Amino acid sequence: MSTVHTSKPVMKGGGSLTLESLPADTFIPEDFSEEQKMMMDMCHQFLHAEVYPHLDRIDQLEPGLMPKLMEKAGEMGLLGISIPESYGGLGKDFMSAIIVAEGLGAGHSFSVGQSAHTCIGTLPILYFGTDAQKEKYMPKLASGEWKGSYGLTEPNSGSDALSAKSTAKLSDDGKHYILNGQKCWITNGGFADVYTVFAKIDGQHFTAFILERGMEGFTQGPEEHKMGIKGSSTVQLYFQDCKVPVENVLGEIGKGHVIAFNILNIGRLKLCAATLGGAKECLKRTIEYAKTREQFKKPIYEFGAIQQKLAEMTIRNWVTEAGLYRASMWIQQKEEELLAAGKPVNEALLAAAEEYAIECAMIKVFGSELLDYVVDESLQVHGGNGFSDEYNVSRAYRDSRINRIYEGTNEINRLLTVDMVLKRAMKGRLDLMGPAMAVQKELMSIPDFGSTDDTPFAEERKAIQQFKKAILMVAGAAVQKLMMKLESEQEILMGIADMAIETFHAESALLRAMKLVEQKGEANCGYELDIARTYLYDAADRINKSGKDAINAFASGDEQRMMLLGLKRFTKVAPFNTKDARRRVAARL
């Protein structure tokens, strides 16, 4: 059942870097159907009833507790959202899976275990498994009777996952692969029943295998002692002449990277959803605290310094939501388009997620940095109490940090963002050359200071289009100037990625506000417009700073001067009183 209703055609992956979107082309949380709202509520109820009362016991890794909680989630259908009904799941659409990821995101270590199970622990088999493999594993993974895990990382291959050393060799009788090697940092590893692991057949062909607990030669190490998500099981896996039946090869031999990278796209989007869920819950508790904690004879909530923090956290949560659901809608629409064109179900979502791999990477970075920002500022609002384990915010602070490391570190995701854009442009998949040349021409011309556009939000829409020109100008010049050397100028690539990430989110926020204005009228959208305008105003400065640093790193003389002037023009926004806007946002909390 499609739950997304917007105009077609679907925006191409990376297309929003140059093209303007309409409010009607975006999906916003305010568009949730009754069923989707119920799903979100059900997740929150689950956390309140089953997880929050046991957080300390979970963090102490009480034997059997996490598996039992996962089974309870399975009974409620929360583990089988994306699994077809024929395999015991609920067979819901992609948007529903994102909603559940957000809904359960605030569950600390439980969320990590649940998310690893439903995403990297289940999806490889669902999307790449044979019918026999799916029949064997899916119903038990959907119900939670079996727990899933995923072993890619090794002690000497993290970001460079394909340099893994684990090997597989066909046995003399041709019935088994014999695996040798080691994996590390494996979530759910201590109690999982089913593991997707990667090894190189004959030391060369990177391939995925399904392993089961108890297979001969397959053992797990002790639990790691971590700084956060202490209740999430994290262990090493060891393969010592481990006998894996040949029918447990997952996907094609030598194509393990296809599984590893495709699952990561979906994982990155879901990670953003989970961090958003965590950030919203953390902010909610912080607002409650600020309203009850009194200093100087009044609630600290009344101080401007505190209101500024609460408002900024609210703004960033709202903006993250806007970007997440906008990109999720694109993926779902693309999936529907591919299904309608006859693509098999298991290929349609993967191809749709691959189309938006750029957005998945940007959103992962944004969500994980949002949560770090929110837990840090929330702890500050809690003062000394925030530093105490009596308040949950200290746990949130510790638990948040991992999100910038797994599902591809944020450095890798930033580099990937620009790498994918440039590769797609070179292959003709994305038209960057035309718009980049138009920007170059504009740079040489006399600026047009008068605006005749009197359509709604003309000024804000123009600002977003100007930000895009700034990206095209910097990226285009960097490519021209540095060519093959650009790959090793990572600081410049990271700066361009930041410009793109800021612009994508500023536009998503503006579109969300504009859509709400269309629905409710401008007079009823003061709060939403304050949020979108504050974000846009601040984003302009951040884009300017990233752009400036990049330009100064590769340009000099007249070229540098011209580009810096262009950047100033492209990131110019009208003065805006963000202090008052944040005060108004805080007043609504």
Q: Are 188 and 235 in contact (CB under 8 A)?
A: no
- Residues 153, 320, 417, 546: which binds ligand FAD (CB under 6 A)? 153
**Residue of minimal CB distance from ligand FAD?**
158
Work out whether 494 is an interface residue with ligand FAD (CB under 6 A).
no
Work out whether 409 is an interface residue with ligand FAD (CB under 6 A).
yes
Nearest approach in angstroms of CB 81 to ligand FAD is 20
- Residues 411, 442, 489, 518: which binds ligand FAD (CB under 6 A)? 411
Based on the residue annotation, tell me whether 377 is a catalytic residue of this protein. Answer: no
Give residues 176-235 in contact with ligand FAD (rule: CB under 6 A). Answer: 185-187, 226, 234
- Residues 87, 110, 137, 150: which binds ligand FAD (CB under 6 A)? 150
C-alpha to C-alpha distances, 129 to 136, 143, 336, 346, 355, nearest whole angstrom: 10, 18, 21, 9, 22
| Whole-angstrom distance, CA of residue 210 vs CA of residue 133 | 9
Omega of the bond prior to 9 within 30 degrees of 0, cis?
Answer: yes
- Residues 95, 97, 101, 152: which binds ligand FAD (CB under 6 A)? 152
Length of the chain: 589
**x/- site string to ligand FAD, residues 98 to 117, per CB under 6 A?**
------------------x-
Task: Give how many residues touch ligand FAD by CB under 6 A.
Answer: 20
Nearer to ligand FAD, 222 or 384 (CB): 222
Three-class SS state of 541: helix
| Whole-angstrom distance, CA of residue 161 vs CA of residue 164 | 6
- Residues 86, 130, 159, 292: which binds ligand FAD (CB under 6 A)? 159
| Whole-angstrom distance, CA of residue 100 vs CA of residue 94 | 10
Q: What tokens were used for 497? A: 């990625």
Nearer to ligand FAD, 239 or 325 (CB): 239
Q: Alpha carbon 309 to chain centroid distance?
A: 23
Q: Which stretch binds ligand FAD (CB under 6 A): 76-84, 150-158, 250-258, 462-470?
A: 150-158
Q: Which stretch binds ligand FAD (CB under 6 A): 338-346, 385-393, 408-416, 574-582?
A: 408-416
Work out whether 18 is an interface residue with ligand FAD (CB under 6 A).
no
Work out whether 337 is an interface residue with ligand FAD (CB under 6 A).
no
**x/- site string to ligand FAD, residues 436 to 465, per CB under 6 A?**
------------------------------
Report which residue type is found at 52.
Y
- Residues 405, 482, 564, 589: which binds ligand FAD (CB under 6 A)? 405
Give residues 270-289 in contact with ligand FAD (rule: CB under 6 A). Answer: none
Nearer to ligand FAD, 112 or 567 (CB): 112
C-alpha to C-alpha distances, 413 to 238, 256, 416, nearest whole angstrom: 29, 20, 5
Partners of 201 in beta bridges = 168, 205
Choosing from 407, 502, 507, 528, which is the catalytic residue? 407
Work out whether 58 is an interface residue with ligand FAD (CB under 6 A).
no
Q: Which stretch binds ligand FAD (CB under 6 A): 151-159, 242-250, 282-290, 529-537?
A: 151-159
H, E, C per residue of 74-103: HHCCCCCCCCCHHHCCCCCCHHHHHHHHHH
Q: What tokens were used for 582? A: 């944040």
Q: Are 324 and 276 in contact (CB under 8 A)?
A: yes
Q: Outline where 521-573 has alpha helix (H).
A: 526-554, 557-570
Q: What tokens were used for 98? A: 């994102």
Q: What tokens were used for 452? A: 């005749």
Partners of 244 in beta bridges = 177
Nearest approach in angstroms of CB 169 to ligand FAD is 22
Work out whether 396 is an interface residue with ligand FAD (CB under 6 A).
no
| Whole-angstrom distance, CA of residue 458 vs CA of residue 514 | 11
- Residues 70, 142, 274, 412: which binds ligand FAD (CB under 6 A)? 412
**Numbers of helices and strands, H then E, in the chain:** 20, 10
Nearer to ligand FAD, 158 or 245 (CB): 158
Work out whether 306 is an interface residue with ligand FAD (CB under 6 A).
no
Three-class SS state of 390: coil
Work out whether 504 is an interface residue with ligand FAD (CB under 6 A).
no
If you ran DSSP here, which 8-state letter would residue 405 be given? T
Give residues in contact with ligand FAD (CB under 6 A).
Answer: 116, 150-153, 158-159, 185-187, 226, 234, 402, 405-406, 409, 411-412, 415, 490
Active site residues: 407
